[in-house]
Amino acid sequence: MKHFLDIHTTDAADLRQMIDMGQKMKSARNGRPKGTPDDEQPLKGHMVALIFEKPSTRTRVSFDVGVRQMGGETMVLSGREMQLGHGETIADTARVLSRYVDLIMIRTFEEATLQEMAEHATVPVINGLTNRTHPCQIMADIMTYEEHRGPIADKKVVWCGDGNNVFASFAHAAGQFGFDLTFTGPETLDPERAWIDWAAAKGRPITIDRDPHRAVAGADLVVTDTWVSMHDPESAKERRHNQLRAYQVNEDLMSKAKPESLFMHCLPAHRNDEATSAVMDGPHSVIFDEAENRLHAQKAIMRWCLGK
């Protein structure tokens, strides 16, 4: 069963093949209206369940559109409205859904929910974000970097802010695609030890530098994300803002990176908190290309899962 659960648990050659396939499918659509189907219909006759236990704009729309472009059909399910949200086990949900659909994408809280779904489903399962990782996002980000600047291998990527789930998948990508990753943020919001150790074991030790200006010096890519994630308690907001203010990505900080550096943010953003509008709308920013590439990268991920 080819589940797409995380970047570090997927074969590096397969990841590369997915990025290249995403780019190929994107080029093939060049100039065509958004709603038109692809010439190739690899998902024709396939039904895909998209389960959301947390809010989403990009993941929801890009998966839905991607399936339809490839000739398949979707059903978007909210966790709350399913029996899953009312006591039915994840394992039973996985077994039942597998009788109806060909592929399951789930956005959830605990990683254990995703793992249990994958363990008991007899169809492929895709991770659409957990509290711990967000692999589809980083596949789109790698694709975006490479379409603007060529291979990401050996480039310097600097993450500013919270060592969260999106950072975790960047750490995995550093090991799998072979780039240098620096984390700059307060010690209290450091990434998980497990991911730091994993990247080091892969020969791509993560640099941790508390000084954002020193960290960003010479960067090829500067990345940030919201200071408060969907799974973080609202009560943490004020403390996090105080701790993270020094790590805001603004024009002054971006000026320390290479002149040809790119700026990324997975969105949704809180403008003028983690990044200023001047940076988000400025010459280094590729944030809307990232959002678009969710569509193309995920189409390739789904084809890989289904062997299509």
**Angstrom distance (rounded) from CA 220 to CA 158:** 8
CB of 300 to ligand NVA, least distance (A): 20
CB of 57 to ligand NVA, least distance (A): 9
CB of 39 to ligand NVA, least distance (A): 31
Residue 225 is among the residues annotated as catalytic for this protein: yes
158 with 210: CB under 8 angstroms?
no
Selecting among 107, 132, 204, 296, the annotated active-site residue is 107
Does 216 engage in binding with ligand CP (CB under 6 A)? no
106 with 112: CB under 8 angstroms?
no
C-alpha gyration radius of the chain: 19
Selecting among 136, 225, 265, 296, the annotated active-site residue is 225
What residue 225 binds from ligand NVA, ligand CP, none (CB within 5 to 8 A, per partner kind)?
ligand NVA
Residue 243 is among the residues annotated as catalytic for this protein: no
Which span sits near ligand CP by CB under 6 A: 5-13, 174-182, 260-268, 300-308?
Answer: 260-268
Longest dimension (CA), the chain: 55
User: Of 3, 26, 46, 58, which one interacts with ligand CP (CB under 6 A)?
Assistant: 58
Does 133 engage in binding with ligand NVA (CB under 6 A)? no
Residue 134 is among the residues annotated as catalytic for this protein: yes
Does 105 engage in binding with ligand NVA (CB under 6 A)? no
What residue 229 binds from ligand NVA, ligand CP, none (CB within 5 to 8 A, per partner kind)?
ligand NVA
Q: What is the pattern of x (binds ligand NVA, CB under 6 A) and - over residues 189-208?
A: --------------------
Does 57 engage in binding with ligand CP (CB under 6 A)? yes
What residue 57 binds from ligand CP, ligand NVA, none (CB within 5 to 8 A, per partner kind)?
ligand CP
**Angstrom distance (rounded) from CA 268 to CA 133:** 16
What residue 93 binds from ligand NVA, ligand CP, none (CB within 5 to 8 A, per partner kind)?
none
Residues between 261 and 300 with contacts to ligand NVA, criterion CB under 6 A:
266
CB of 166 to ligand NVA, least distance (A): 5
Selecting among 294, 296, 298, 303, the annotated active-site residue is 294
Does 137 engage in binding with ligand CP (CB under 6 A)? yes
Residue 137 is among the residues annotated as catalytic for this protein: yes
Residues between 156 and 185 with contacts to ligand NVA, criterion CB under 6 A:
164-166
Going by C-alpha positions, the residue among 300, 286, 246, 299 that lies closest to residue 65 is 299
**Angstrom distance (rounded) from CA 28 to CA 20:** 12
CB of 64 to ligand NVA, least distance (A): 16
Q: Give the 3-state DSSP-derived string for 224-244, with helices as H, strands as E and coil as C.
A: ECCCCCCCCCHHHHHHHHHHH
User: Of 93, 98, 127, 226, which one interacts with ligand NVA (CB under 6 A)?
Assistant: 226
For ligand CP, how many residues bind (rule: CB under 6 A)?
9
> Which residues are catalytically annotated?
107, 134, 137, 225, 266, 294
User: Can you give the binding site for ligand CP, defined by CB under 6 A?
Assistant: 56-59, 129, 137, 266-268
